[in-house]
């Protein structure tokens, strides 16, 4: 489980701790002329989107990665509906975070702050609006900060969800904490240890439960949340953490794993809450990762197993949307970035609308001619 980062097929940041894949190249140089800052696709819902950040400290447990601190610090980014349509757009990341990201990616030939110039759609610190809004927790892949899921988060907020994205401190290349402190990836030096994945998802499950405990008292807009309607969505090891969290915390009613090998063990008696696997072709039956086949048999409630033809590990994140800004030319066989974002947004939203808003979604019943890339497993997908 080596922690190796690469740029390929747009910006593909591969966290090998959460899936079994061939080793990618260690770095990639720009192959064309940068086009300038990337622009995230506009949200598809009816509501303008606001965003703000919370900083929480769990004094009941030490940090699992930094032995010099006796409390777990977390940054939580919230996206939510607002009535405010004008205002300062929230930054995608800080210049320092961009610098650390490009260094870890091995990208040369573009300014250090390139990723910090990415144009978002959410208005910084806007007043939240709505009532009885479902809550969606987001957890990113290993080494990735949660802002790599911003496009998905903004879209869900525009559709009437409160989204709480958790930066799991010391597990990504950069987490900016109060006072401008930047926590870099201490966990990256431990990912060859036996039981690493199991330990990470257990720690993230504890992070999520703590955030759910704290949110009512730490955010002024928390009274808008319907706390009986909570789901979790994650990419890579964040997806594995969705399963781990649901096993431990009954408040999370539904979950989605986007292309992550699962580590937490489902009880042999089965698991009845709704769950969806959404992945790349490595996750087809008989593919390189067999964890989904193992867990599929133990999912006794509503379940789906969807595979996107042409998807890569990071197709479910903002990564491929950064290709032009970083002057990277995607392979012709890879699902185009805009299409990958559309598919991810559409199927994640359909799942959440059905299970948190009780709105039946025919899109989840069978393959769609509108989205022929999406294969329903195990019945209608084959190894590709």
User: For a pLDDT cut of 90, what percent of the chain falls above it?
Assistant: 79
Q: What is the pTM of this model?
A: 0.91
Q: Mean of the pLDDT values across residues 253-281?
A: 95
Q: Longest Cα pair distance anywhere in the chain, in angstroms?
A: 55
pLDDT tens digits along 141-175: 999 999 999 999 999 999 999 999 999 999 999 99
Helices then strands, each counted (H, E), the chain: 6, 12
Are the C-beta atoms of residues 300 and 330 closer than 8 Å to each other?
Answer: no
Q: 240-251 in b/e burial notation, b at 16+ Cβ within 10 A?
A: bbbbbbbbebeb
Is residue 18 over pLDDT 70?
no
Is residue 20 over pLDDT 90?
no
């Amino acid at each position: 489980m080596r922690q190796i980062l690469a740029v390929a097929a747009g910006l593909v940041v591969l966290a090998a701790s959460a899936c079994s894949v061939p080793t990618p190249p260690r770095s990639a140089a720009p192959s064309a002329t940068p086009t300038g800052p990337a622009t995230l696709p506009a949200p598809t819902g009816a509501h303008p989107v606001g965003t703000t950040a919370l900083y929480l400290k769990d004094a009941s447990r030490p940090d699992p990665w930094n032995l010099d601190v006796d409390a777990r610090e977390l940054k939580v980014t919230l996206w939510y509906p607002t009535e405010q349509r004008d205002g300062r757009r929230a930054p995608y990341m800080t210049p320092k975070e961009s610098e650390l990201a490009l260094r870890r990616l091995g990208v040369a030939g573009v300014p250090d702050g390139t990723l910090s110039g990415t144009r978002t759609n959410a208005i910084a610190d806007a007043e939240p609006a709505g009532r009885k809004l479902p809550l969606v927790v987001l957890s990113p892949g290993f080494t990735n900060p949660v802002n790599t899921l911003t496009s998905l988060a903004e879209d869900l907020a525009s559709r009437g969800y409160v989204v709480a994205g958790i930066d799991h401190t010391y597990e990504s290349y950069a987490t900016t904490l109060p006072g401008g402190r930047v926590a870099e990836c201490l966990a990256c030096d431990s990912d060859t240890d036996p039981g690493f994945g199991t330990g990470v998802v257990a720690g993230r499950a504890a992070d999520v439960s703590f955030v759910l405990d704290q949110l009512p008292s730490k955010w002024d807009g928390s009274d808008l949340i319907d706390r009986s309607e909570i789901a979790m969505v994650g990419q890579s090891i964040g997806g594995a953490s969705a399963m781990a969290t649901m096993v431990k915390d009954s408040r999370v009613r539904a979950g989605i794993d986007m292309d992550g090998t699962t580590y937490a063990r489902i009880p042999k008696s089965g698991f009845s809450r709704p769950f969806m696997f959404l992945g790349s072709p490595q996750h087809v039956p008989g593919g390189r990762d067999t964890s989904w086949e193992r867990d599929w048999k133990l999912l006794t409630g509503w379940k789906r197993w969807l595979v996107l033809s042409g998807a890569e590990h990071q197709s479910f994140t903002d990564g491929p949307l950064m290709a032009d800004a970083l002057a990277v030319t995607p392979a012709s066989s890879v699902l185009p970035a805009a299409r990958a974002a559309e598919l991810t947004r559409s199927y994640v939203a359909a799942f959440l609308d059905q299970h948190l808003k009780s709105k039946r979604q025919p899109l989840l019943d069978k393959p769609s001619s509108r989205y022929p890339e999406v294969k329903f497993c195990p019945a209608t997908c084959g190894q590709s």
